[in-house]
Amino acid sequence: MNHSRRLSQAISEGDGISLLVPVDDPDEARRAESNGAEGVVVERTVDGLREATTLPVLYLGGDARSCADADACLLWVKSAGDEAGLRDLHSEAEMLGLEAVIGVRDDEELELALEELDPEIVLLSPEDEDDDPLEQVLDLLPDVPAGKLAIAEVQIRSSEDVAALERAGVDAVIVEPGVVSQLAGGAAPEV
């Protein structure tokens, strides 16, 4: 597979924080793109997705071989089992021509990912939904080295949440399809 749509390029270019939108069908992908999203997120193969959008596709399913139309895939540190398993998953994604996005939920997972893989893209997700998920993601962010791209996977309650993530240095956030047009293209927050 040789994909020309690089998630890292899409979220590092342009002004402000990039919005990534989960989609279930080609129409949702078209809407997400027209509303200002800079990437789409899928949990399974979506027929017709490549023809519906020019945006990069991030696959959250875990098994890189399962989504032929993806440009990037999420690899959770916790799911890998150990260091060797994590390296194997990363190598498999690279062999398939996919950008690896390494998912972490705490400082230890982030440290392991950085030591073992030195990933270009890290997905920060809250460890415990009982505590403030946004604060958990923001607490992880300072440990992401400069030059790495950070994606937040956190429930967005308002444009203020997006602004807080952007001010902190998050490069992209996964948002629900219904709010992307409200969040995209607005005035950049004061930093």
Contact by Cβ (8 Å): 123, 74: yes
Q: Which residue's structure tokens are 């916790």?
A: 78
65 vs 171: which has the higher pLDDT: 171
Structural domain boundaries of the chain? 7-183
Contact by Cβ (8 Å): 49, 67: no
d(CA 186, CA 131): 29
Q: Could you tell me the two tokens for 93?
A: 């994604």
Q: How high is the pLDDT of residue 81?
A: 80
Mean pLDDT in the chain? 87
pTM for the model: 0.89
CATH of 7-183, one of 3.30.1490.20, 3.90.850.10, 3.40.50.20, 3.20.20.70: 3.20.20.70
Find the mean pLDDT for residues 152-175.
Answer: 92
Find the mean pLDDT for residues 4-15.
Answer: 86
121: which strand partners?
Answer: 101, 149
Beta carbons within 10 angstroms of residue 126's beta carbon: 21
Find the mean pLDDT for residues 17-41.
Answer: 94
